[in-house]
Amino acid sequence: MRKLLVIAALVLANLTLIVYLGVRRISVIVERPTTPQNLQSVFANELQDDTGKRISLSNLIGHVTAVLFVNPDVTNQVDVTQKTISAYKPAEVSFILVTPNSQALRSYLSSLTDNVSIVQHDYDGLKKLFGVPDCCERRFVFDTEGSLKYHDYYVEDLIPRLNRLAKQDLPQLPFALVDTLNSLTTGHLRSVRGQTRTNSTKAVIALFSSVSTNCPSGEMVRLVNQYSERRKDIAFLLLLPANYTGSDIENFKANLQIKHNLHVETMDGPLAEKWSSLIEIYGENQINGTVLLVNRGALSAALGMSEVEQKLSGL
């Protein structure tokens, strides 16, 4: 009898533990913050900025809107926010800066225009509404229809993201690449283009601002490397950032098993400068791994694995 009572107690204890864990799991799922997908879901009611002015949803729809949670005690966040705001005319982007200390934030930001609102009222409630954890700050970008297009934890430069939504006159990236690089009159590009004109040949130039072996950039290097081995009649050149040393290049070639027909060098000064200007406008993720095809001096650009493979297979 005593043995049966012990077994019953153990069974009851296990059932209690299972129920507790199940309830806890459900509560975690319910409490897990979600990212708002549109402005309607977060701004159903008016906001109040630190001057007492009301901000209504109707004034935001029709404009690209960036909601930035900013801690004025974090210098990097303040500096990045100032740079981002300064990049746009008031009619291009509406900025809502949500902060725990509006007075401190205003003291660090200069020349704020009417398209910038600073909100401190109900700061904690807004963090919950946007799913922003206590430890960090997040940024949200909504398009003109109020749909969420991007959010991060101050990970990358926000300007290229906003450019694609707010700068309607921004040239498409392939055209911008060719136009910008065509203007170079010295360095690698001029040399390669001159050789293809003289010899009536073709060349392939791959441009990278960063490479990681297990990421798409590494896959792009492998793809170009494979074609360089198949087409020994074509000159292949891979250009890395100017700060790569000779040792960096040798390690890069060893790690990615670069063959002899794919020459690896660093970008010359003028090219590196043009490349940086393109990154500032379009973002590193968009242009990293660009492949230029040179046919008798004429440039064309290929972006992304499928397009690059298609263009390389048609050489």
CA–CA dist 37, 177 (Å, integer): 32
Write down the pLDDT at residue 32: 44
Are 134 and 127 a contacting pair, CB within 8 Å? yes
User: Which single residue is written with the structure tokens 């009536």?
Assistant: 200
* Amino acid (one-letter) located at 234: I
Write down the pLDDT at residue 34: 63
- Strands 47-48 and 54-55 turn out to be antiparallel
User: Which single residue is written with the structure tokens 């949500």?
Assistant: 98
Q: Which residues of the chain have pLDDT under 70?
A: 1-34, 41-45
User: Which single residue is written with the structure tokens 């050489």?
Assistant: 315
Are 301 and 291 a contacting pair, CB within 8 Å? yes
Q: Write the pLDDT tens digit of every residue in 260-272.
A: 889 999 999 999 9
Q: Write the pLDDT tens digit of every residue in 29-68.
A: 333 446 777 777 666 667 889 998 888 877 788 889 999 9
Q: What are phi and psi of 247, to 5 degrees?
A: -65, -40
Q: What does the chain look like in DSSP terms, one character per residue?
A: -HHHHHHHHHHHHHHHHHHHHHHHHHHHHHHS-----BHHHH-SS-EE-TTS-EE-HHHHTTSEEEEEE--TT-HHHHHHHHHHHHTS-TTTEEEEEE-S-HHHHHHH--S--TTEEEE-TTHHHHHHHTT--TT---EEEE-TTSBEEEEESS-S-SHHHHHHHH-TTPPPHHHHHHHHHHT--SHHHHHHHHHHHHHT-EEEEEE-S---TTSHHHHHHHHHHHHHHH-TTSEEEEEE-TT--HHHHHHHHHHTT--TTEEEEEPPHHHHHHHHHHHHHH-HHHHTTEEEEEETTEEEEE-SHHHHHHHHHT-
Write down the pLDDT at residue 44: 61
CA–CA dist 77, 199 (Å, integer): 52
CA–CA dist 112, 90 (Å, integer): 10
Write down the pLDDT at residue 46: 74
* Amino acid (one-letter) located at 313: S
CA–CA dist 98, 228 (Å, integer): 51
Q: Would you give the distance in Å from CA 53 to the centre of its chain?
A: 33
* Amino acid (one-letter) located at 136: C
Q: What is the CA radius of gyration of the chain?
A: 27
Write down the pLDDT at residue 15: 45
pTM: 0.68
